[in-house]
Amino acid sequence: MSLKNSLLTATALAAVTAGGAFAETTVTIATVNNGDMIRMQGLTDEFTAANPDIKLEWVTLEENVLRQRVTQDIAAKGGQFDVMTIGTYEVPIWGSQGWLVSLNDMPEEWDADDLLPAIRGGLTVDGELYAAPFYGESSMVMYRTDLMEKAGLEMPAAPTWDFIKQAAAAMTDKDNEIYGICLRGKAGWGENMAFLTAMSNSFGARWFDENWQPELNGEEWTATVNYYMDLMNNYGPPGASTNGFNENLSLFQQGKCGMWIDATVAASFVTNPNDSTVADKVGFALAPDNGLGKRGNWLWAWSLAIPAGSDATDAAKKFVAWATSKDYTALVASKEGWANVPPGTRTSLYENPEYQSAAPFAEMTLGSINAADPTNPSVKPVPYTGVQFVAIPEFAGIATQVGQEISAALAGQQSVAEALEKAQALAADEMEAAGY
Amino acid sequence: MARAVTQQRKIINTVLAWGVGLLIFFPILWTILTSFKTEAQAISDPPVFLFFDWTLENYAVVQERSDYMRYLWNSVIIAGGSTVLGIIVAVPAAWSMAFVPSTRTKDILLWMLSTKMLPAVGVLYPIYLIFIKLGLLDSRTGLVIVLMLMNLPIIVWMLYTYFREIPGEILEAARMDGATLKEEILYVLTPMAVPGIASTLLLNFILAWNEAFWTLNLTAAKAAPLTAFIASYSSPEGLFYAKLSAASTMAIAPILILGWFSQKQLVSGLTFGAVK
């Protein structure tokens, strides 16, 4: 009966909508399933009330499915989406292919100069801004204040890798299932390799030299991976070679990790008393460094871009301008509080005293984002942009294979030297085949 | 004595059957249980089985965020349409293979099955481009055609084996009585093969309902079925297992209920004939 009723209601609604329809443009938005995006979806009515001639359709997909789906559509010019949620990896590649609409002509009140320079730089190709940042994130150290105190140590605001190792050793209590440090081990360019590439920057390593020759079996990469293995094998949780963000989040929330170095977005999860058993015992610090002038944190911005094949470019631009504006931030703040606004894109947000008091990790996030430079990520010069990735189309494939070798080493199936030799060989092959 | 052994064997068989049944059903049961937990309980270690605070909150969240009925309707049309279309194409094909086989019939059957060995992703791009040209992207018609083609080899094979069980003499007798080909298939063959056709229909409906590769890759907003509904609740950054379970439960519920009611037909269809 209720099914029948629902069907009747649906039909009636459809009839009403069809009856009242006028010339409206439909904007189809492809997006990922995370808190800030879902909130944006919930505010659809606010946008359509101000723009009654535009109808919004949402396609929400899991991150990896979405990436595959939108890549396929944009490469084939399928025209399924008018707005795509993409990251700092895709924007430079797609922008230089001519696949995206330039956003240099956004309205003045949108205020492009207010965007954080590091984020804006990552989304710009040859002076053209190809995507509007919706929220930005970096990575940082999250640690248990109670365990740190028990170990008789104090976390500096900007720790070194040596301090991290010392603290991990002091906090580890395997009998009680407490592990000093939890890090990503699951293979993938956006999984363990995102962490390791960011970490390698602080060890002075780089993926490729100025002539695009891989350096994976070089001194710096060897030092990075050996340090990582040492931390994980001695102070990490068992079975870490299959741990990604969610697995580590679960371990941390259950009080099994002393420290966890991962995305800044995790801060709101681990401090949420509904989900986390350690919500009131979490401290934050910048990602570690090695005294070489670069920190081991990454930079990512989920951004809204308009594919060149869209038949609703003007309406799509209106939507993008709305969703990434200062007014949108204020709208979210008025409905859900300042702690829930999308962070990490605009200077003005970090100058807002209300935001500063509502989000205790605001300063840390800003510091982390500013510490990452996508155009100059490591100590030595590089021919590419990207902090935890290399913005070339071949990277995702190469880094996923390299990640599998390192994950296998973490699982004890081969030595670090073997893994890196294989990684070097496969990277060299792929790059040669790609014509570098 | 003999009776006692039979009794004992019966008990062992029953326990074994229940054991295997529960083992197979357990992941579904766990999904359903998780959908009534809070996110914290969903990941708690050790896991909680039955004694937790049952909540409907996840369902409320899913209901509020997604238009479930639209996805459900798309699933019904796509799965139902592709199955019916498949049967319409497959019945004549299976008839000719079963009753008027040529020297190449065996080869054709094997060749048809061999198309299932190609990974679907291998033809994704060509099909995507064809769909752009024909304007079939994100349309239910397009998915009905693709899923019908994907499942056609299985439908033909199943119908072929059922038809082979039917004595050709009966059809011959009908022909002697002056039945046309159409009448022969519609009024003589089909009624005899009803259990077989019913189980083929059901199995293919289930296959089409669960199909996640094409339904995710060829749809966007308009034609997205329940597989896309589930995919929208999966997240690599954030623990939303309880909500994902609620969405999954809502997506599998219709097919689970359908399976329940049609159990008899499914089993009788699958064991149809004397030699099976």
What are the pLDDT digits (tens) for B3-17? 556 888 999 999 999
- Give the other-Cβ count within 10 Å of B136's Cβ: 19
Kindly state whether residues A237 and A311 are assigned to the same domain: no
Kindly state whether residues A126 and A226 are assigned to the same domain: no
Q: Does B271 touch chain A (CB under 8 A)?
A: no
End of a domain among A358, A373, A402? A358
DSSP conformation class of B240 = -
Inter-chain contact A62–B44, Cβ cutoff 8 Å?
A: no
Inter-chain contact A10–B236, Cβ cutoff 8 Å?
A: no
User: Is A366 part of a structural domain of the chain?
Assistant: no
- When CB atoms are compared, the residue of A28, A77, A254 closest to B45 is A254
- When CB atoms are compared, the residue of B70, B129, B239 closest to A249 is B239
Kindly state whether residues A153 and A247 are assigned to the same domain: yes
CA distance A271 to A147: 16
Q: Phi and psi (nearest 5°) for A396?
A: -55, -45
Kindly state whether residues A99 and A144 are assigned to the same domain: no
Inter-chain contact A34–B239, Cβ cutoff 8 Å?
A: no
CATH of region B66-232: 1.10.3720.10
Q: Which of A28, A275, A277 to substitute to test the interface with B, most B CBs within 10 Å? A: A275
Q: pLDDT tier at B218 (50, 70, 90 boundaries)?
A: very high
DSSP B138-196: T-HHHHHHHHHHHHHHHHHHHHHHHHHHS-HHHHHHHHHTT--HHHIIIIIIHHHTHHH
For chain B, the C-alpha Rg in angstroms (whole number) is: 23
Judging by beta carbons within 10 Å of its beta carbon (0-12, 13-18, 19+), is residue A104 exposed, middle or buried? exposed
Cα B168 to Cα B161, B164, B198, distances in angstroms: 13, 8, 21
Helix (H) or strand (E) holding B207: helix B194-210
User: Is A235 part of a structural domain of the chain?
Assistant: yes
What residues are paired with A307 via a beta bridge?
A100
Contacts of residue A419, defined as CB under 8 A and 6 or more positions apart, other chains included, come to A225, A405, A406, A408, A409
User: Is A367 part of a structural domain of the chain?
Assistant: no
Kindly state whether residues A261 and A244 are assigned to the same domain: yes
Judging by beta carbons within 10 Å of its beta carbon (0-12, 13-18, 19+), is residue A157 exposed, middle or buried? exposed
User: Is A17 part of a structural domain of the chain?
Assistant: no
Which positions in chain B touch A7 (Cβ < 8 Å)? 69
- Look up the domain containing A183 and give its range: 139-298+385-433
pLDDT given at position A144: 97
Residue owning tokens 């008091």: A357
Judging by beta carbons within 10 Å of its beta carbon (0-12, 13-18, 19+), is residue A102 exposed, middle or buried? middle
In chain A, how many domains are there?
A: 2
Rounded percentage of chain B residues whose pLDDT exceeds 70 = 95
pLDDT given at position A176: 93
CA distance A43 to A323: 10
DSSP conformation class of B48 = P
pLDDT given at position A340: 85
Q: Which residue of B has its CA nearest to A60?
A: B232
3-class DSSP state of B214: helix
Using the predicted structure, report yes or no on whether residue B107 has a pLDDT greater than 50: yes
pLDDT given at position B274: 40
Kindly state whether residues A100 and A244 are assigned to the same domain: no
Kindly state whether residues A283 and A392 are assigned to the same domain: yes
| Nearest CA-CA partner of A204 in A231, A184, A223, A226 | A223
Task: Give per-residue burial for A315-344: e unless 16+ CB within 10 Å, then b.
Answer: bbbbbbbbbbbeebbebbbeeeebbbbbbb
CA torsion A361-A367-A371-A372 (nearest 10°) is 40
Contact yes or no for B94/B156 (Cβ under 8 A): yes
Tokens of A398: 């190469």
Kindly state whether residues A124 and A149 are assigned to the same domain: no
- Kindly report, residue by residue over B29-82, the tens digit of the pLDDT: 999 999 999 888 888 878 888 888 899 999 999 998 889 999 999 999 999 999
For chain A, the C-alpha Rg in angstroms (whole number) is: 23
Q: Is the dihedral of CA B201, B202, B205, B211 positive or negative?
A: negative
End of a domain among A340, A358, A376? A358
Inter-chain contact B125–A30, Cβ cutoff 8 Å?
A: no
Residue owning tokens 């597989």: B227
CA distance A272 to A279: 6
pLDDT given at position B190: 84
| Three-state secondary structure of chain A | CHHHHHHHHHHHHHHHHHHCCCCCEEEEEEEECCHHHHHHHHCHHHHHHHCCCEEEEEEEECHHHHHHHHHHHHHHCCCCCCEEEECCCHHHHHHHHCCECCCCCCCHHHCHHHECHHHHHHCEECCEECCEEEEEEEEEEEEEHHHHHHCCCCCCCCCEHHHHHHHHHHHCEHHHCEEEEECCCCCCCCCHHHHHHHHHHHCCCCCECCCCCECCCCHHHHHHHHHHHHHHHHHCCCCHHHCCHHHHHHHHHCCCEEEEEEECCHHHHHCCCCCCCCHHHEEEEECCECCCCCECCCEEEEEEECECCCCCHHHHHHHHHHHCCHHHHHHHHHHHCHHHCCCCCEHHHHCCHHHHHHCCCHHHHHHHHHHCCCCCCCCCCCCCCCCCCCCCCCHHHHHHHHHHHHHHHHCCCCCHHHHHHHHHHHHHHHHHHCCC
Kindly state whether residues A115 and A233 are assigned to the same domain: no
* Alpha-carbon gap: A120 to the closest alpha carbon of chain B (Å): 23
For residue B46, whether the previous peptide bond is cis, meaning omega lies within 30 degrees of 0, is: yes
Kindly state whether residues A120 and A238 are assigned to the same domain: no
Cα B249 to Cα A256, B30, B208, B214, distances in angstroms: 31, 10, 17, 21
Which positions in chain A touch B232 (Cβ < 8 Å)? 33, 59-62
The contact set of A with B (CB < 8 A) is 6-7, 10, 28, 30, 32-35, 38, 41-42, 57-65, 69, 72, 76-81, 244-246, 249-250, 253-254, 263, 265-266, 269, 274-277
pLDDT given at position A6: 52
Contact yes or no for B247/B62 (Cβ under 8 A): yes
Low-confidence ranges of chain A (pLDDT < 70): 1-23
pLDDT given at position B269: 67
Q: Phi and psi (nearest 5°) for A412?
A: 85, 15
Kindly state whether residues A158 and A91 are assigned to the same domain: no
Q: What is the mean pLDDT of chain B?
A: 89
What residues are paired with A57 via a beta bridge?
A28
- Give the other-Cβ count within 10 Å of A89's Cβ: 24
pLDDT given at position A23: 65
Tokens of B43: 């990941």
User: Is A82 part of a structural domain of the chain?
Assistant: yes
Residues B131-141, mean pLDDT to the nearest whole number: 95
Q: Which of B124, B237, B244, B257 to substitute to test the interface with A, most A CBs within 10 Å? A: B237
User: Is A364 part of a structural domain of the chain?
Assistant: no
Residue A53: which CATH number?
Answer: 3.40.190.10
pLDDT given at position A18: 44
Kindly state whether residues A156 and A242 are assigned to the same domain: yes
